Amino acid sequence: MMTQEQLLSVAKEYGSPVYVYDADKITSQYNRLINAFKVDNLRIHYAVKALSNISILKLLNSLGCGLDTVSVQEVKLGLAAGVDPGKIIYTPNGVSLEEIEEVVKLGAQINIDNLSILEQFGSRHPEIPVCIRINPHVMAGGNSKISVGHIDSKFGISIHQMPHLLRIVENTGMHINGIHMHTGSDILDIGVFLHASEILFEAARNFSELEFIDFGSGFKVPYREGDIETDIEDLGLQLTERFNSFCKEYGRELTLAFEPGKYLVSAAGKFLAKVNVIKQTTSTVFAGIDTGFNHLIRPMFYGSHHEITNISNPEAKARFYSVVGYICETDTFGNNRRISEIREGDILSFSNAGAYCFSMASNFNSRYRPPEVMWYKGQAHLIRERETFEDLTRHQVEMNFESLNKELANKN
């Protein structure tokens, strides 16, 4: 990983706040994943929504990785990055039939997660191969905000609706070439994940022409020192054995697919921010920084933990701080965090800033979104410029009230 001196050099060159991504870490995470599963056909689709910068997509494409997309725009980003459309799977939720048909024209694999659209699509395009997203009703993640396999989830077709699903497939004559599930994020219990996999295997037996089974992702990454994470190697051993056994039962070799996002890019990202002010109240010392939830919303939105390090003064005695932003809302990044003494002007580094950080950034309070930098082969490379005032107004259309009022007065 990048050193503190290298991070400081990025902040000095590109200003703050700024996102930095370590290409070597992304590469090592990808290699660790593909080495964990010993199957003849393995397909990894990176979840674009985690971090959609085109340079990140090009890096992963160079490693042999495909893409998991949830919008036609993400599909187009993948194509712009040079990804073969055959390596892109499109797994939307609640989109129109028209958007799905637009993606079909781009050549991506379609994944449908509701009976209504399945029937409409099958009636109009029975010749186009379709993957089906199943909801196994298994909670594999720990946080209810990021678990999508529960019974009330809007994602996927309930496993209990299989008879209805099969009737649609039979009536339309459509071709089902894949079956998919995603139970949620931060999977800790491999046993629970394997239980959900058995439900998916059972569902797969209903289709005779499958080419792949997609087990989703949601692998947990460590957020602090000593934190637990999904044991990918153990999962690889157990799921490989079961998958190979199923393929023998099924009568042909299928492709084992995953769609990791956070697992590939979370730990590769750092978010650097400058301390604007130290403010002491009767009970708390606040470190106010030059950013807010407009740039990093995960702590406020999900209750996520990001380790915060003072890389400008790392050897100083630690004190307790509440790190807060400059947005006119409550935007606390961490309460009573033990951090080496913070001075005004110091640079703080937030860990695990690669996934669902910049991709969820906004212009709230009319603040500019920050630049993004990739650390590649020992050098910093700008991969997104810092926004400017012109970016804020680029698509706004100003009304001429004086002219409009005169026009209305003349009509009257």
> Which residues are tagged catalytic?
328
| DSSP string computed for 287-342 | EEES--TTT--HHHHT-----EEETTSTTSPEEEEEEE-SSSS--EEEEEEEEE--
What does the alpha-carbon distance between residue 263 and residue 261 come to, in Å, rounded to a whole number?
5
Three-state secondary-structure class, residue 183: coil
Three-state secondary-structure class, residue 370: coil
Report the Cα–Cα distance between both ends of the chain, in Å, rounded.
70
Nearest to 54 by CA among 75, 30, 85, 29: 75
Extended strands (E) in 188-307: 212-214, 255-258, 269-280, 285-289
Extended strands (E) in 162-235: 176-180, 212-214
Neighbouring-strand partners of residue 310: 348
What does the alpha-carbon distance between residue 365 and residue 326 come to, in Å, rounded to a whole number?
9
